[in-house]
Amino acid sequence: MFGHPKGLRTLFFTEMWERFSYYGMRGLLILFMPAAIERGGFGMSEGDAGAIYGLYTAFVYLTALPGGWIADRIIGARQAVFIGGCIIAAGHFSMAIPGKFTFFAGLVLIVIGTGLLKPNVSAIVGDLYPEGGARKDAGFSIFYMGINLGAFLGPLICGYLGEEISWHFGFSAAGIGMVFGLIQYKFGLSAMGTAGEAQVTDPQQLAVAKSQLFKGLAGIVALGLLLWGLHASAIYTLSLSGFAQAIGGIIVVLAVLYFAYVLLFGGYSPEENKRILVIFFLFIGAAIFWSGFEQAGSSLNLFAERLTDRNILGWLMPASWLQSVNALFIILLAPVFGWLWVWLGSREPSIPMKFGLGLVLLGVGFLVLAWAAVYATVENPVVPAWLVVTYFFHTAGELCLSPVGLSSVTKLSPKPLVGQMMGVWFMGTALGNLIAGLLGGTFETLPVDELFRNVAYISVIAGIFFILVKSPIKKMIGVVK
C-alpha cells in the first residue's frame, strides 16, 4: 500500500463496502416509502417518510456512542466491526423481503450494526499507526477515499436496481455489498497485527461491563414497550413527526445541560472553559450545517425524482443517481482543498472563518436550488445541472467545515473530556440529520422554493455570524496544538 500497513487495504475495502451499502440504501429510502402501493412502495405521506428518514439517520450517529463503548469495554474494535457488518447485512436482507415489519426491522438492524462498525473501523485505522505523525494523516486520507468511493458507487448500483427493477432488489444489492466487505475483512485480518484487539481482559471488569450493557438494553426495551403501550391504549398518542421532534428536543436539552454542567461544575480553568464554550458554538454551527447538507437524501432526492428532467436520449435516469454527485466532488475537490490550506500557510482561515464559509456555501447551494424551484413543475422539470451546481457548493462547504470540526473538538477539549466531547459532537450530527428528515417531510406541504430559501437564509445568517465573531472566538481559543 505505497509504504502504508497492509491492514489499511483491508479496512479501506471494508469501509468502502459498508458505505456502498449505507448510501445505496439511503438513496432509495425517501423514494420508496412515499411511492404508491401499486409501484411497490408504502404510499406514506412525505411527513411520515421524512420523520422515519430523520430518525433512522439520527440514530445511526447516536449508536456510535454505545458502539464505541462496547468495543472499548467488552469485545474490542476488531470483533465489533465484524459483528456490526453481519448485523448490517442482515438488516439489508430483511428489507429485501416485502412487508412493513421486515422493512422496519431492517432499519433497526442497520442502525445497530452501523453503531458497532462505523466508529471502530476508524479506531483500527488509528491503531495501525502507533507512531502517529504525517504518515497517519496520509493513511486516514486514503481511508477517506474509500468512504467516498463506496458513497459514489452505492447509489448508482442500488439505485438502478431499486428504481428500474424492484425496490427490494436495490436493498438486496446493499446487503450483498456488505457481505463482500465482510469476506475480504475476514481474509485480511492477519495483515492487521494486533490492531483493534480487545484491550480489557480482566474477568471482573468484563463482568461489570456486560452487566451495565444488559441493564442499558433492558432499560431501552422497557422504555420502548412503555411508549408502545401508551400509544396502543390511546392514553398518549404521538405521530411519527411528533416523535421525531421530541427526540430532537431531547438531544438539544441533553447537549445544553451537558455543556452547562461542564462549564459550571467541571472545575476547569478559565482558559479551558472558554474553549469548551467555543465547542458549544461549533456544535450549534455543525447542527445547522448538517440539517441542510443531509437533505441530499430527503428533500433534494425528492426534487430529483419529481421536479428534475432526467430524460437522457429517451432513457429515464434513476433519481438516486444524483446522490453520487457529492461523493464524486469530494474525490475531485478534497486534494484541491488540502493543497489550498497548505499554500495559504499562515493566511489559512481560522476555525470560525472556515465554519462561516462552510455555512455560507451551503446557503448559496440552497439559493441556487430555490431559484430552480421557482420554474420547476411536474410538467416542466428543470435540468439536472441545477442539482449538480447545488452539490458543488455543498461539497465545498463540507470540505471547509467537516474536517476542521472534528479536529477542533480533539484540540480544544480538556484531555479528560475528549471522548465525551466527541460523543456530543456526534449528537450534533445526529440532530442535523433528524432536522434534515423533518424538513424533507415538508416537501409537499410547503412551496419547494420557500423551503429551500428558508434553509438558505438560516445557513447564510449563521455563516455570517461566525465570520463576524471570528476575532473574539480566536481569542477564546488561544494557542492550541
Give the tens place of pLDDT for each residue, 119-134.
889 888 888 888 776 7
- Confidence (pLDDT) at 141: 83
Closest listed residue to residue 3, CA positions, set 126, 142, 123, 120: 142
- Confidence (pLDDT) at 195: 86
Whether residue 136 sits in one domain with residue 3: yes
Are 77 and 120 spatial neighbours (Cβ–Cβ below 8 Å)? yes
For residues 162-190, average pLDDT? 96
In a 3-state reduction of DSSP, which class is residue 196?
coil
Whether residue 191 sits in one domain with residue 246: no
User: Is the pLDDT reported for residue 115 higher than 80?
Assistant: yes
Q: What is the tens place of the pLDDT at every residue in 269-315?
A: 999 999 999 999 999 999 999 999 999 999 999 999 999 999 999 99
User: Is the pLDDT reported for residue 136 higher than 60?
Assistant: yes
User: Is the pLDDT reported for residue 259 higher than 70?
Assistant: yes
For the domain that residue 420 is a member of, what is the CATH number? 1.20.1250.20
Contacts of 324 (CB under 8 A, 6+ apart): 151, 152, 153, 154, 155, 156
Closest listed residue to residue 268, CA positions, set 474, 477, 417: 417
- Confidence (pLDDT) at 79: 93
Cα–Cα distances (Å) from 109 to 105, 113, 175, 257, in that order, read: 6, 6, 12, 30
- Confidence (pLDDT) at 410: 78
Residue 213 lies in a domain: no
Q: Determine what percent of the chain is predicted with pLDDT higher than 90.
A: 70
- Confidence (pLDDT) at 433: 96
For residues 86-91, average pLDDT? 98
Number of domains in the chain: 2
Full domain range(s) for residue 357: 240-481
User: Is the pLDDT reported for residue 480 higher than 70?
Assistant: no
By mean pLDDT, which of 62-66, 251-255, 336-340, 402-406 is the weakest? Answer: 402-406
Average pLDDT, the chain: 92
Cα–Cα distances (Å) from 43 to 126, 164, 172, in that order, read: 45, 18, 21
Q: Determine what percent of the chain is predicted with pLDDT higher than 70.
A: 98
Whether residue 60 sits in one domain with residue 10: yes
**Does the global pTM surpass 0.85?**
yes
Residue 478 lies in a domain: yes
Whether residue 255 sits in one domain with residue 150: no
Give the span between the Cα atoms of 214 and 218, in whole angstroms: 6
Q: What is the tens place of the pLDDT at every residue in 320-372?
A: 999 999 999 999 999 898 889 889 888 889 989 999 999 999 999 999 999 99
Give the span between the Cα atoms of 475 and 469, in whole angstroms: 10
Whether residue 173 sits in one domain with residue 124: yes
User: Is the pLDDT reported for residue 481 higher than 60?
Assistant: no
Residue 233 lies in a domain: no
- Residue 211 burial (CB count, 10 A): 10
- Confidence (pLDDT) at 126: 85
Higher-pLDDT residue of 147 and 200 is 147
Whether residue 392 sits in one domain with residue 257: yes
Give the span between the Cα atoms of 402 and 359, in whole angstroms: 11
C-alpha cell at 313: 436520449
- Helix, strand, coil content of the chain in percent (nearest 5): 80, 0, 15
Give me the residue label for grid cell 484541491.
336
Helix or strand holding residue 311 (H, E): strand 311-312
- Confidence (pLDDT) at 407: 78
Whether residue 251 sits in one domain with residue 352: yes
Whether residue 297 sits in one domain with residue 381: yes
User: Is the pLDDT reported for residue 45 higher than 90?
Assistant: yes
- Confidence (pLDDT) at 419: 72
Whether residue 251 sits in one domain with residue 170: no
